[in-house]
Each structure stands twice: as C-alpha cells, then as structure tokens.
Amino acid sequence: MAFLCVLPGLSSAQEDETKAEAPGTGSEQPAVAIPHGAREDIQEKNLKLLLQPLTKDELALEAKAWLDIVKAKVTHISQLTIEAGAGSSKKLVQLREGKAAVITRFKMVIAELETKGGDVTEFLAYVNAVAGPQVDVTDAGASWDAFTGWLSAKEGGIKWGIQALKFLGIIFIFWIIARFVRRVVGRAAELSDRFSELLEQFVVTMSFRAVMCIGLLVALGTVGVNVGALLAVIGGASFIIGFALQDTLGNFASGVMLLIYRPFDVGDSVEVGGVTGKIDSVSLVSTTIRTFDNKVVLVPNRNVWGQVITNASASDTRRVDMIFGIGYEDDTDKAKAILERIVSRHELVLEEPEPVIQLHELADSSVNFICRPWVNTGDYWQVHWDVIQQVKAEFDREGISIPYPQQDVHIHQAG
C-alpha cells in the first residue's frame, strides 16, 4: 500500500526531470536572442545577415540604437571642428570617415525597416540632415582640408573610387560579352535563310543592347543601388509613359510587324507612304527611304504598315512596258519590224518570257504599239532608256513619224 502511494510521486518527479533534460525544453534551451548589430566595427555583410530575421518592432529598436551612434559621432565631430577652428586635424578626418561608415550601416537598417513596413520618416530625415560634410564653405582652407581628407578617407574618396572602378569594370566586361554575343548572333543570322537583312540588323542590335542593359543592372546592384526599387519605379511609370508615347508604341508595333513579315529588304525599290525610293534601314519607329534623287525620307512605321506597299525589287524579273505611236500615214508593218529588231538585239532583254510587240490601239492622233520586253529587275531602267533612244533614232532614219497630239479645225462660212 505504501509503495502504491509513493509511486505516483516518483513518476511525476521523473517526468519533470525528463522535461528538464529534454532537448528544446527546460533551462538548457537558450532563449532566442535578438541579433543586435549596432556596433561601429561590424562589417556590412554581417549586419545585413543579422537584420534579415528581425521583425518590424525589433528593427525599430535597432534603428534607434544606430541613431544614437550616429548622433554621438556627429556631436563629437562638431566639438572637434569648433576646437580646430580653420584647421583640420587628423583625428577629425578619421572621425568623419567613421561617421560615413556608421551612416552607411544606419541606412541599411532603415532600408530593412522600410521593407518590413516600419515608419522610417524620422530616421530618414535625420540621416539626410547630418549625412553631408560639416564644413564652413566660406572658409576656403577648411573646405580644402575637408575635401582632401575625404579623398584619402577609407569610407570617402577611396570607397567611392573603388565603387567607380567596380562599376566601370563590370560595364567593360559586359561590353566585351555584348560584342561577342553580337558577333555570334550575326553569324547565326547570316547562315539562316529565314532572316532578312533588316531582321538580321534588328536582332544583332537588340542582342547587344540587351546584354548591355543586363550589365548596367548588375553594375548598379554591385555598387549598392537598389535595382529592385528602380525597376519598381520604372514599372509604375510604364502606364504613364505608354499613354504619353502611344503614337511611338504604335510605330514600334508596326516596326515589329515589318521585321517579321518582311515586305521589303534593304536596297529594295519601293513605294510606301507616298514615297518612292530605295530602303536604307528600318528601325522600330521609322523606315528610312533614300529617293532616287538622293533625298533621305523618314516614314513612320504606322504609315508604312497601314498603307499599300509596292515593292519593285521583290521579283527577280520585271516587264518593261512602253508605248510607241506612229502616224496614220506610216507603214505599221515596218514600224513593228523595227521594234522587234531593236528588242531582239538588246543584250539585256531576256529570251524567256518572250517580248510582246503588238499594234495596240488607234488613238486620236497616232497608231500606238505596245512594246513589252522582260528583263532582270536590276536592268529595268537601263533597258527602258536604251530602247526609247534606239526607237527614236531608227524611226527618224526610216522616215516613220512620231506624232504629237493635234486637232484639225475646219471653218465653214455661212452663205
């Protein structure tokens, strides 16, 4: 009976002892400590790691601790500045360097607090007010000493110099990568039959710019710029930018359609948007046409894609359409034979398809022949000019007239 009465007490005592020794419970389990990085000598990367698990309230306490550190540093610098007068001691330069370091870390705490929804208005106002150099700008000597001290400071000129070198180094590396990518993409586009010259130019250019944009973002992130916030601002402003640039975006969309469907290529003779000439280039906004009298015309892509496009260079061969008129008193068989002889002897006229030379119509002042030889597209105008010149010479030699529009007026006198 006594054993049964003592047994529950022993069991309870054993359970309490087990709970005390169990891992994760009892006095052996350390309390969760709030990481406190408010120390001047802490490295930025370590401070960043310590700030990540903190809540908004814990970050507010951390920010207040850093505020006290910055305040003490600024107070000390102010006192030494008063004592130094117009000069600038080595200790003062070191204090300013330390001030820049703690302000950088304070800003990291503020940024983390703002990310987690905390109110940072007061902290930002203070740090912005004291971040600048505390130097009397009317005193040239003090200003120069402060400037030279900042240049030689680890957290001043040296830090910014290293940051600038890092930025330029990353941009240079990505520039080399972009050139390599552009060369590879250009070679691949040249080997592909599906790429027109315009599309090839576009793809090559965009590949270079895309790599450089990535390089710029990487470089900005490396030197401490909040790239995420920058992209957020750009995204938020995209609607306003899109509304303001709706005409430009319409040209952009039309430019993409021109590059995809390829109604013409560089060097093609076209008539688009009321302009006739050869295609020089096509950007995402406009098409550059060089007229035959060597004028450069920029046509918005909306006007190109939205209208009829006539491409005279799309086919390898073209038909030269000409009309020659002779007088009603002239020999039509002889005129036809002259036209056939001139066309057949021209070295640039194609044998297939065969030329068409026929008496076409009896006009008001002339009997008209059609003369339609086929030529390679690049020989069109040369054949056109040669045939007209030779026809005029042969008709004159053979005594065949080329009449001009005329009217006969008959006057009858009333009797």
Residue 21 falls inside a structural domain: no
Residue 221 falls inside a structural domain: yes
pTM of the model: 0.44
Mean pLDDT over each residue of the chain, to the nearest integer: 78
Q: Which one of 192, 216, 244 terminates a domain? A: 244
Instruction: Return the CATH number at 221.
Output: 1.10.287.1260
Same domain, 302 and 326: no
Overall number of domains in the chain = 4
Residue 12 falls inside a structural domain: no
Q: Is the pLDDT of residue 21 over 60?
A: no
Same domain, 48 and 122: yes
pLDDT band, very low/low/confident/very high, at 57 (cuts 50, 70, 90): confident
Same domain, 306 and 360: no
Return the minimum-mean-pLDDT range out of 42-56, 66-80, 142-156, 380-394. 142-156
Which pLDDT tens digit goes with each residue over 304-359?
888 888 888 888 899 999 999 999 999 999 999 999 999 999 999 998 899 999 99
Same domain, 149 and 74: yes
Residue 46 to residue 39: CA distance in whole angstroms: 11
Same domain, 216 and 183: yes
Return the minimum-mean-pLDDT range out of 198-212, 228-242, 400-414. 228-242
Kindly give the pairing relationship between strand 367-372 and strand 356-362: antiparallel
Same domain, 171 and 271: no
> Could you identify the residue written with the tokens 């790691």?
49
Q: Which one of 122, 155, 188 terminates a domain? A: 155
The token pair that represents 98 in the structure block: 């330390």
User: Are 284 and 255 in contact, with CB atoms under 8 Å apart?
Assistant: yes
Same domain, 77 and 145: yes
pLDDT for res 41 = 74
pLDDT for res 157 = 64
pLDDT for res 299 = 87
Q: Which one of 155, 176, 196 terminates a domain? A: 155
Instruction: Return the CATH number at 280.
Output: 2.30.30.60
Same domain, 66 and 140: yes
Residue 18 falls inside a structural domain: no
Q: Is the pLDDT of residue 68 over 70?
A: yes
Residue 364 falls inside a structural domain: yes
Residue range(s) defining the domain that contains residue 52: 44-155
Residue 282 to residue 300: CA distance in whole angstroms: 10
pLDDT for res 146 = 55
Instruction: Return the CATH number at 340.
Output: 3.30.70.100
The token pair that represents 45 in the structure block: 């990367």
Residue 405 falls inside a structural domain: no
Q: Is the pLDDT of residue 53 over 70?
A: yes
Residue 47 to residue 279: CA distance in whole angstroms: 59
Same domain, 89 and 141: yes
Question: How many C-beta atoms surround the C-beta of residue 246 within 10 A?
Answer: 10
Same domain, 191 and 267: no
User: Are 172 and 178 in contact, with CB atoms under 8 Å apart?
Assistant: no
Question: How many C-beta atoms surround the C-beta of residue 7 within 10 A?
Answer: 10
Q: What is the 3-state secondary structure (H, E, C) of the chain?
A: CHHHHHHHHHHHHHHHHHHHHCCCCCCCCCCCCCCCCCCCCCCHHHHHHHHCCCCHHHHHHHHHHHHHHHHHHHHHHHHHHHHHCCCCCHHHHHHHHHHHHHHHHHHHHHHHHHHCCCCCHHHHHHHHHHCCCCCCCCCHHHHHHHHHHHHHCCCCHHHHHHHHHHHHHHHHHHHHHHHHHHHHHHHHHHHCCCCCHHHHHHHHHHHHHHHHHHHHHHHHHHCCCCHHHHHHHHHHHHHHHHHHCHHHHHHHHHHHHHHHHCCCCCCCEEEECCEEEEEEEECCCEEEEECCCCCEEEEEHHHHHCCCCEECCCCCEEECCEEEEECCCCCHHHHHHHHHHHHHHCCCECCCCCCEEEEEEECCCCEEEEEECEEEHHHHHHHHHHHHHHHHHHHHHHCCCCCCCCCCCCCCCCC
Q: Which residues of 393-415 are buried (b: 16+ CB within 10 A; e: fewer)?
A: eebeeeebeebeeeeeeeeeeee
pLDDT for res 415 = 57
Residue 225 to residue 168: CA distance in whole angstroms: 15
pLDDT for res 356 = 94
pLDDT band, very low/low/confident/very high, at 255 (cuts 50, 70, 90): confident
Same domain, 170 and 137: no
User: Is the model more confident about 376 or about 91?
Assistant: 376
* Crossing angle of helices 121-130 and 90-115, rounded to 10°: 160
In percent, the amount of the chain with pLDDT more than 90 equals 23
Residue 134 falls inside a structural domain: yes
Residue 412 falls inside a structural domain: no
Same domain, 372 and 293: no
